[in-house]
């Protein structure tokens, strides 16, 4: 789908933190970094863990709660082992206090 989908309110995502949610059966993790919203798949590509339960490290990386591998939040790129497969990331925009993402 090419549609922007409403996912959450801007204020639902804490600053420098995550919010796990689901859109059309796809588990998505939202992040707020310096006021900016980012979105990736919520499932780690290494195993069965939710990245929304992980920690934001070094300002722009999410650390998986299970084996502490990392991904770059802005691109979904695997940033440290054991993660080697990139996460899918989604375009996000905020309008009128509402977050929309595009499930590409």
Among the listed residues 83, 87, 99, 101, the single contact to ligand FES using CB under 6 A: 83
Shortest Å, Cβ 95 to ligand FES? 32
Shortest Å, Cβ 46 to ligand FES? 4
Determine if the peptide bond prior to 82 is cis (ω within 30°). Answer: yes
Q: How many amino acids of this chain bind ligand FES (CB under 6 A)?
A: 10
For ligand FES, the closer of residues 21 and 45 by Cβ is: 45
Closest to 30 measured CA to CA, from 89, 97, 104, 86: 89
Q: How many Å from the N-terminal Cα to the C-terminal Cα in the chain?
A: 6
Report angle CA 101, 2, 90 to the nearest 5 degrees: 35
Among the listed residues 56, 64, 73, 92, the single contact to ligand FES using CB under 6 A: 64
CB atoms within 10 A of CB 26: 15
Among the listed residues 47, 85, 91, 95, the single contact to ligand FES using CB under 6 A: 47
As a whole number of angstroms, the distance between CA 24 and CA 16 comes to 26
User: What are the residues binding ligand FES (CB under 6 A)?
Assistant: 44, 46-47, 49, 64, 66-67, 69, 82-83
């Amino acid at each position: 789908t090419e549609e922007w989908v409403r996912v959450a309110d801007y204020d639902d995502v804490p600053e420098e933190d995550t919010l796990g949610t689901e859109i059309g059966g796809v588990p998505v993790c939202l992040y707020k970094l310096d006021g900016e919203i980012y979105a990736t798949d919520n499932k780690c590509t290494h195993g069965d863990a939710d990245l929304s339960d992980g920690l934001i490290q070094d300002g722009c990386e999410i650390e998986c709660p299970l084996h502490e591998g990392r991904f770059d939040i802005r691109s979904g790129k695997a940033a440290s082992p054991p993660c080697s497969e990139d996460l899918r990331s989604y375009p996000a925009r905020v309008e009128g206090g509402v977050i929309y993402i595009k499930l590409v």
